[in-house]
Amino acid sequence: MRVSKKPVLYSILIGLLLMTISYFFQPLMPFQSIAHRGASALAPENTLASFEKAIELGFDYIELDVRLSKDKQLVVIHDANVLRTTDGEGLIEDLTVKEIKKLDAGSWFSPAYAGERIPLLNEVLKEVSGKTGIIIEMKSPENQPGMTEILADMLNSYKPDNQIKVQSFHINEIKKFHQLAPEISAGLLLSKHLDLFHLASYREFASFLSVHHLLLSKSFINQAELFGYEIYSWTISKQYQFADMQRLGVHGIISDDEKRIPDSIIYVLITPFLKGQDFFKTLLA
């Protein structure tokens, strides 16, 4: 006796339809917008131009990276080497500020930004403080002796400004930073899951967690909120991902560009297809 497969197929299709409808009708929660290295989709990353563009667009925070120069000054740049984002070459740790300031950090992005310079952190603080919040990532502080102490000393003079936060992947350095500057909000960058034990133990020195968006789930956010964490997702590059993060209930979204309202129903309808494409790209990467 042959059993018809149609009822099973119909059940699967109905289930998928109900899941899709449920997904799209979940509320979109408000979030703090965080400009990844400034408005880096529109201006050269980690420059005053990108930070000014982020302020112009109304971002709640700018996110930037710092490294130590040869003469122990905090330089705003992501890479250890200046090759990708300037017309020069060499490691930041081998260059003095005088040498770094000679580099063109804008032409690689667009001729319109020719002559843009790599800023120092104290220059950014003077230019941006009071206009928007700032999230500072310490890049490889475990390999740059003195970075955490220098940053803590600098930011302690900005204590009245509670719009400054510091984050890093390195747990011990964030713990040290919190001890040196307890009034400045500190957080951990995460590229792997945390269990309840670690959520509880890290809360002693971290008030927020910046988590790769593919690791986030509603259950994880609910658990983290029980311990009082704010959750930021990084780094959002597709417009549909904003809605995904809002439905999860993240507190902040780190992105290269601002969120835009889809201008047609077609975009909304093809979103599942776009998500599927990205999912398979991630699996094959």
Average of pLDDT values for 206-212?
97
- Residue 240's pLDDT is 86
Q: Is there a contact between 168 and 174 (Cβ–Cβ < 8 Å)?
A: yes
| Tokens describing residue 251 | 């507190």
Dihedral over Cα of 193, 196, 198, 199: its sign: positive
Over the chain, what is the mean pLDDT? Answer: 88
- Write the pLDDT tens digit of every residue in 168-181: 999 999 999 999 99
Average of pLDDT values for 110-128?
97
- Write the pLDDT tens digit of every residue in 247-277: 999 999 999 988 876 545 455 555 555 555 5
Average of pLDDT values for 204-227?
96
Q: Is there a contact between 63 and 135 (Cβ–Cβ < 8 Å)?
A: yes
H or E stretch at 243? helix 239-248
Residue among 3, 140, 152, 143 nearest 77 (CA): 140
| Tokens describing residue 281 | 């790209």
Active site residues: 36, 78
- Residue 134's pLDDT is 97
- Write the pLDDT tens digit of every residue in 76-108: 999 999 999 999 999 999 999 999 999 999 999
Q: Is the pLDDT of residue 131 over 60?
A: yes
Task: Pick the most confident of 17-26, 155-164, 210-219.
Answer: 210-219
Q: Is the pLDDT of residue 183 over 60?
A: yes
- Residue 99's pLDDT is 98
How remote is the C-alpha of 19 from its chain's centroid?
29
Q: Is there a contact between 253 and 270 (Cβ–Cβ < 8 Å)?
A: no
d(CA 250, CA 244) in angstroms, rounded, equals: 10
Q: Is the pTM of this model over 0.95?
A: no
